[in-house]
């Protein structure tokens, strides 16, 4: 069926390999499982599909039965997913999810912990809304349903901010594309783990502070 999105075009655009023989694939925000089923068809040896909703909500369970799919479905949030699954994947798909999150950097930290090979991320971006400032590392916050009339949309970075967010979280990051070219509304990046500690963990403070239960500042952790 055609569905809401052209999954073949999207997976080609973000650079999902045509041959995934022997690789493990994690599809986060799978909805009806299109990305997971394509990965399975391309030879992936292990496919895990993740979404917040039960598998029948978007039709994953029915489609899996029709296809005779062996893809595993996990109902979970991206937050805490690395600990829940306890493994890393050769390919991680994170398509059309980031802008639905109230804590995007926390999610990227989870993705880094889940990625052994490559993470392919596609998201809404705000370049088209920021005019002359679209080249800066900025993000738009949408308090209600200002983005697409959808109250589950929270943040849209610029394409530059997207790259820098991923780099901060410990990825070597390549901007695949941002489209439409004149004023991008969507962007995709290809990320590989640097193998080192995430960049942000190297930031230090001479005297770290915390607020204790009484609401007073303390220099003790």
Tell me if 76 sits within 8 A of 84, measured CB to CB.
yes
Identify the band that residue 217 occupies on the pLDDT scale cut at 50, 70 and 90.
very low
Average pLDDT estimate for 185-199: 93
In tens, the pLDDT along 7-40 reads 999 999 999 999 999 999 999 999 999 999 999 9
- Residue 218, pLDDT > 50, answer no
Give the closest residue to 112 by CA, choosing from 84, 82, 139, 83. Answer: 82
- Its pTM stands at 0.91
Identify the band that residue 1 occupies on the pLDDT scale cut at 50, 70 and 90.
low
Identify the band that residue 210 occupies on the pLDDT scale cut at 50, 70 and 90.
low
Residue 220 has what pLDDT? Answer: 44
Residues 6+ apart with CB under 8 A from 158: 125, 126, 127, 130, 134, 135, 136, 137, 138, 139
Identify the band that residue 195 occupies on the pLDDT scale cut at 50, 70 and 90.
confident
For 199, the token pair is 């960049």
In tens, the pLDDT along 90-147 reads 999 999 999 999 999 999 999 999 999 999 999 999 999 999 999 999 999 999 999 9
Q: Can you tell me which residue has the tokens 């995430």?
A: 198
In tens, the pLDDT along 43-62 reads 999 999 999 999 999 999 99
Concatenated DSSP letters of 44-61: -SEEEEEESS-TTTTTHH
For 48, the token pair is 């895990």
Q: Is the peptide bond before 180 cis (omega within 30 degrees of 0)?
A: yes
Residue 196 has what pLDDT? Answer: 87
For 17, the token pair is 């390999």
């Amino acid at each position: 069926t055609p569905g809401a999105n052209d999954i073949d075009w999207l997976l080609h655009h973000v650079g999902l390999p045509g041959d995934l023989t022997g690789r493990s694939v994690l599809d986060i925000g799978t909805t009806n499982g299109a990305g997971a089923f394509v990965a399975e068809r391309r030879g992936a040896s292990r496919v895990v599909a993740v979404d917040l909703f039960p598998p029948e909500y978007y039709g994953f369970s029915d489609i899996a039965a029709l296809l005779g799919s062996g893809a595993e479905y996990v109902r979970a949030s991206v937050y805490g997913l690395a600990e829940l699954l306890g493994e890393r994947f050769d390919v991680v798909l994170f398509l059309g999810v980031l802008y639905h999150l109230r804590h995007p950097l926390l999610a990227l930290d989870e993705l880094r912990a889940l990625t052994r090979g490559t993470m392919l991320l596609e998201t809404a971006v705000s370049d088209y809304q920021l005019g002359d400032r679209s080249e800066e590392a900025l993000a738009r916050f949408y308090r209600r349903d200002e983005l697409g009339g959808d109250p589950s949309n929270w943040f849209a970075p610029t394409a530059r901010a997207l790259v820098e967010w991923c780099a901060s979280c410990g990825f070597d990051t390549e901007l695949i594309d941002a489209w439409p070219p004149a004023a991008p509304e969507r962007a995709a990046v290809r990320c590989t783990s640097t193998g080192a500690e995430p960049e942000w963990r190297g930031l230090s403070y001479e005297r770290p502070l915390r607020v204790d239960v009484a609401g007073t500042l303390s220099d003790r952790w």
